Structure 1
Amino acid sequence: MKIWLDGKLVEQEEAKTSVFDHGTLYGDGIFEGIRFYNRRVFRLEDHMDRLFNCAHYLLLDMPYSKEELSKAVCETAAASGLDDGYIRLVVTRGIGNLGLNPFNCKRSCVYIIADKISLYDPAVYENGLSLITSSIRRNRPDTICPQVKSLNYLNNILAKVEAVRQGAAEALMLNDQGNVAECTGDNIFIVKDGTVYTPPVTDGALDGITRRVVLEICREQQIPAEEKTMNRFTVTCADECFLTGTAAECVPVTKLDSYELGSGKIGPVTARILARFQELTQHTGTEF
């Protein structure tokens, strides 16, 4: 496997970073998960915009331009030999000392991995996913901004651990007000009386790229959709439910804790959105 590391493709065994990198020492860095389908990188420009916005917010110097990194992403995907796969683009603060001060790091480190990924058993895309409600609350938006895709995923990891230990693949995360934020690695949508709802980013949700695509699909297909603050009661009473994320794609949900959601099967609105999403992934994107 070839890894793009600070400007060149190297073998996996040669792709090494320093133990003094603040990405390792403090989780000080950002990342993007990007998909490619049929040798096309899906929503590359959107991912680049978000990456650079996060870097700006963290005062993290980017050693490459958007154009250079976009080219590097395509180069890495091509080198993988895969037609369909997943890209992890990581930017760390770079090498510093053992102190906390990030400005002692002279240059950011960038690496790109292109490989396969599978978050869930393929059967859940047909039969639906079961969720548990995590006791781990999502970080407050006024303390850790949910718009930053930081390398520090401890909050999400603790919720994922809780889900796995309870025999579930995914967990619903509430915010400090008890309202729905997102899942450990996915945005959440529900359908009620024909309208699609998803929590606003101000409730602790990431402004997910796939989330944006689904809202675009709803506008295109004239499916009513809006952002709405929701609690656990709202989800349990939903007619349909599904999750979105670059790695997860679009996943139907049929159960939350002991509650069956809707009919317990994939609903018609969800199926319509999933079909259009799959069509877009196969026929749009940046070719490489």
Structure 2
Amino acid sequence: MINFNGEIISNAKANLSVFNRGFAYGDAVFETIRVNGGAILFWEDHYFRLMASMRILRMRIPMNFTLEYLEKQILDTIAGYGVVTNQSIRVKLSVYRNSDGLYTPKENSVGFFISIAKIDQPFYKLNSIDKKEYEVELYKDHFIAKDILSTLKTTNRVLNVLSGIFAKENGYANMLLLNTDKKVIEATNGNIFLVKGSTIKTPPTADGCINGILKKQLLRILKDANEFTLEETSIAAFELQKADELFVTNVISGITSVSKYRKKLFSTDVTKKIVNLLNADIRLKK
């Protein structure tokens, strides 16, 4: 089932015009959201990031686009899908500019749609720990600009698509993306964290990485834990081979531990602790 501007319809009836600006120009933003047992994880953070993204893109935010309204639209879509109460769901909420025109739109009103899919994993666990290898490599064909637009989740994700294809063709589990200063800023599908001793580093959004929702939760949790030294700072490629651990985060898969980068093999001791801290934090907020 798809929620198309507030109407729940079947997938077969969900058709966008070929002139839709999200398709034609990448003139759309989206949020990928995890729902566990009917509870939307980190919903306020998703909502305010969406509103900020729309403002940056000069979209006109409808008066009814309140926190409560969009939450109800998400839950109504899930109910229409007929999932069981304890099922975990992946939700994609997309907002596109509703307008004729070429590069320059004639007006700035918006439309939205919500799609959903089931997730097998009901809670966060350390991904890749049972796999033989989760190897990553630097993606050097294209670079991300250090610009506020790079931090937004727009439908223009062609660099991520190309890096994903490169990984598939060359036998890597994921790729690490570089900005125009050749700093490591994120993976194809999430933010990155580097562990060296008791220090945990992650790139700042000023470097051009996505302003990740799960990254925001981990920064708060790690700061409160007082067990590690936390740094939001640029990461040079040479630091990867000196790190003890490396992991990738996004709200759907959670925390994925990297096992190998070139000749460097990573451990998972600190990463396991962080997964436990994350799940404990989520349980406290239920």
Query: When the two structures are superposed, what TM-score results if normalisation uses the length of structure 1?
Result: 0.88
TM-fit CA distance, 1:89: 0.2
Q: State the Cα distance separating 1:280 from its structure 2 match.
A: 3.6
Distance 1:125 1:50, change over 3 A: farther
CA distance in 2, matches of 1:269, 1:22: 44
Please give the secondary structure, in 1, of the residue aligned with 2:171: coil
1:204 maps to amino acid: G
Residue 123 (structure 1) shift: 6.4
Residue 198 of structure 1, aligned match among 199, 202, 212? 202
Going from structure 1 to structure 2, the CA distance change for 1:168 and 1:116 (only over 3 Å counts) comes to farther
1:165 maps to 169
For the structure 1 residues 282 and 259, does the alpha-carbon distance in structure 2 shift closer, same or farther, using more than 3 Å as the test? farther
Matched, 1:215 2:219: yes
Q: Which residue of 2 aligns with 1:133?
A: 138
Tell me if structure 2 keeps the 8 A contact 1:156–1:184: yes
SS at match of 1:149: coil
Letter in 2 for 1:259: K
User: Is the partner of 2:77 in helix, strand or coil?
Assistant: helix
C-alpha distance in 1 between matches for 2:142 and 2:218: 25
**1:17 Cα shift?**
1.5
Shift of 1:283: 5.5
1:23 matches 2:22: yes
Unaligned 5+ residue runs, structure 1? none
1:225 maps onto 2:226 in alignment: no
Native 8 Å contact 1:20 1:95 kept in 2: no
Q: Secondary structure at the match of 1:59?
A: coil
Matched, 1:284 2:256: no
Q: Which runs of 5+ in 2 are unaligned?
A: none
2:149 counterpart SS class? coil
Cα offsets for 1:199-236 (capped at 9, x unmatched)? 11111211100001111121222222111211111111
Change (3 A) 1:118 1:133: farther
Structure number with greater CO (CA < 8 Å, separation at least 6) is 1
Q: Which amino acid aligns with 1:165?
A: E
User: Using the alignment, how far apart are the partners of 1:123 and 1:200 within structure 2?
Assistant: 24
* Separation of aligned partners in 2, 1:209 and 1:172: 19
- Is contact 1:241-1:252 (8 Å) kept? yes
Between the aligned partners of 2:183 and 2:136, the Cα distance in structure 1 is 16
Kindly provide the amino acid, as one letter, of the partner of residue 101 in structure 1: T
**Residues 151-209 of structure 1: CA deviation (Å, up to 9, x unaligned):** 10012111111111111121001111111111112100011011111011111211100
Q: Is the contact made by 2:144 and 2:177 (CA closer than 8 Å) also made in structure 1?
A: no
Relative distance call for 1:112 and 1:172 in structure 2 (3 A) is: same
Fraction of identical pairs, as percent: 28
Which is worse superposed, 60-69 or 12-21?
60-69
The structure with the greater share of residues assigned to strand is 2
Pairwise CA RMSD? 2.1
**Which stretches of structure 1, 4 residues or more, deviate above 6 A after TM superposition?**
none
Q: Which residue of 2 aligns with 1:100?
A: 103
Contact 1:89 1:113 in 2 (8 A): yes
Q: Give 2:219's aligned amino acid.
A: L
1:102-145 Cα distance to aligned partner (Å, 9 max, x none): 2x2564220001213589xx961434621111113432123x62
Using the size of structure 2 for normalisation, the TM-score is 0.89
Map of 1:237 onto structure 2: 242
2:251 to 229, 246, 270: 246
User: 2:185 maps to which residue?
Assistant: 181
Q: How many residues align?
A: 275
